Amino acid sequence: MTRPRKQIILGAYLGGVNHQTVWSDPAAGSQIEFASFQHAAQTAERGKFDFFFLAEGLALRERLGQIFDQDVIGRPDNITVLTALAAVTSHLGLIATVNATFNEPYELARQLATVDHLSGGRAGWNIVTSSDAFTGGNFRRGGFLKREDRYTRAEEFLAVARRLWDSWSADDVLADTGSGQFLRRPDAGEFAFSGKQFDISGRFTVPRSPQGHPVILQAGVSAEGREFAAGGGPDAIFSPFHTLAEAQPFYRDIQERSARHGRPAGSTKVLPGAAFVLGDSEADAVERHREIALAQISGRGAQILLETVWNRDLSGYDPDGPLPDVDPDPTGPLVIQGRARIHQDALDTVSKWRALAASNGFSLRQLAVHVFGHTEFVGTPTQVADRLDAFVQNDGSDGFIIGSHLTPTGLDEFVDKVVPLLQERGSLRTDYDGTTLRDNLGIPAYTDRSSLTAA
């Protein structure tokens, strides 16, 4: 018996405020104006994508105490933009990244349930936490959260949100003018929660939304993160792995952990981010990729990217010369503030990079382009469609969150050229067959699994 072809989940990502987004391209448009978001979201919906996804940043990055002026910076509030996008789309899921550190569950659960109502059941939340004191400077509480408490906060935050979403039953609003009864019961919305992070009670104001619970996404590949995704309830986890050799074991691990928590097979979706560069021929695509990578990473940009690991001022090193001869300074005051640390072990990372540069003869900038300018899918539309499909059918993931170096039109050629090929193969829907984000993803309504995870 052959396994049925998996349907590829596609998310569209817009609005990178980082080096990947090329602002110097004459075709680059606003990363702020609503028209940009509308264009990208409607393009994704034209391509029958499952959802549209926005990241979050709560402080402008700084380098040596000065605001970063080199990359795209500045963004609107993502929940507000996604809610407005509900007005100009009809099926596309709308997923916001929102920080559980600098928000409170009562307010955020209310916002997410509101988006779900106002979009007819298309809301999703990518839950992140931050222990960043620098970002905390913009908020009343400051940087209060210890690094080791991040998952406690995230898990408890999500548990509180779920309790709030469950505080109204689907049939609590009668609005029966005949009997004069608006509510079915006098205590609709009543809740109480007491934990390490939150001790709150009262009545929630938002009646149960179309999806009941918005779809939950989560990033983080540590054992703690995987266990949270598999047991605590996220419906999807980001994957950082782009080769089948790395991706398959991760995929398997998530499925096994989910099964141990009593979740049905396939109920935790695995989604890596992915960028693409298309060309008329493979050589053309490779050349385009080279040009884009150089536009993404200027000489000065290369110095700054390496500074995120070296944690030293590298502005005195020639971008076209060899790697800096000094060792990184992982314990010194941060050169770059407000950016998640991607490489945890700086000494180890730098020694690997030195080896990489030596064996390839890379300059400082060439190394930065190699490490940070990577695009996962480069080729003709047919090649890209083949690789995306093979990756999913071979259980590297359940789909991808597709981003582009160009705002807001970068997705257009993917939808025009790659999507029809995936549809021809039977790996992507040709039309939506439901109305909610859960329908798009093929995941069931959330049900409380606490009885299963308690053991």
Partner 1 sequence: MTQLHVAVALDGAGWHPAAWRSPAARPHDLFTAAYWTDLLAEAQRGLLDFVTIDDSFTIQSADHFAADSRTDQVRGRLDAALIAARIAPGSAHIGIIPAVSTTHTEPFHTSKNIATLDYISTGRAGVQVRVGGLGGEAALFGRRPSPPALSFETLATPEVERFIAERFDEAADYIEVVRRLWDSWEDGAEIRDRATDRFVDRDKLHRIDFEGRWFSVRGPSITPRPPQGQPVVTVLAHSTVPYRLAARQADVVFVTPHDPAGAAAILAEVRQEAAGAALQVYADLVVFLGADAASASARKEHLDELDGAELFSDARILAGTAEALADHIEELHQLGYDGVRLRPGVLPYDLTAVTDQLVPLLRRRGLFRDRYPATTLRGQLGLDRPTSRYQSISVGTDA
* Positions 173 through 212 that interact with partner 1 (CB under 8 A): 173, 175, 177, 180-189, 198-207
Of 146 and 185, nearer to partner 1 (C-beta) is 185
Contact 275, 242 (CB under 8 A): no
Q: Indicate whether 442 belongs to the interface with partner 1 (CB under 8 A).
A: no
> Measured from the CB of residue 53, what is the shortest distance to partner 1 in angstroms?
17
Contact 17, 31 (CB under 8 A): yes
**Most distant CA pair in the chain: distance in Å?**
81
> What percent helix, strand, coil does the chain show, rounded to 5?
40, 15, 45
Q: Is 373 left (phi over 0), alpha (psi -120 to 50) or beta?
A: alpha
Q: Indicate whether 227 belongs to the interface with partner 1 (CB under 8 A).
A: no
Q: Indicate whether 66 belongs to the interface with partner 1 (CB under 8 A).
A: yes
Of 88 and 244, nearer to partner 1 (C-beta) is 88
Of 104 and 439, nearer to partner 1 (C-beta) is 104
Q: Which of residues 19-48 bind partner 1 (CB under 8 A)?
A: 23-24, 28, 32-34, 38
Q: Which of residues 70-99 bind partner 1 (CB under 8 A)?
A: 70-77, 79-81, 83-84, 86-88
Residues 442 and 15: their CA atoms lie apart, in Å, by: 27
Of 274 and 314, nearer to partner 1 (C-beta) is 314
> Measured from the CB of residue 189, what is the shortest distance to partner 1 in angstroms?
6
106 is in an annotated binding site: no
Count of residues interacting with partner 1 (CB under 8 A): 76
> Measured from the CB of residue 423, what is the shortest distance to partner 1 in angstroms?
29
Q: Indicate whether 115 belongs to the interface with partner 1 (CB under 8 A).
A: yes
Contact 239, 251 (CB under 8 A): yes
Contact 428, 48 (CB under 8 A): yes
Residues 323 and 363: their CA atoms lie apart, in Å, by: 6
The closest of 275, 295, 273, 271 to 404, measured between CA atoms, is 275
Q: For the window 247-286, what string marks contact with partner 1 as x by the rule CB under 8 A? A: ----------------------------------------
Q: Indicate whether 139 belongs to the interface with partner 1 (CB under 8 A).
A: yes
Query: For residue 200, what is the DSSP state?
Result: E
222 is in an annotated binding site: yes
13 is in an annotated binding site: no
Contact 384, 420 (CB under 8 A): no
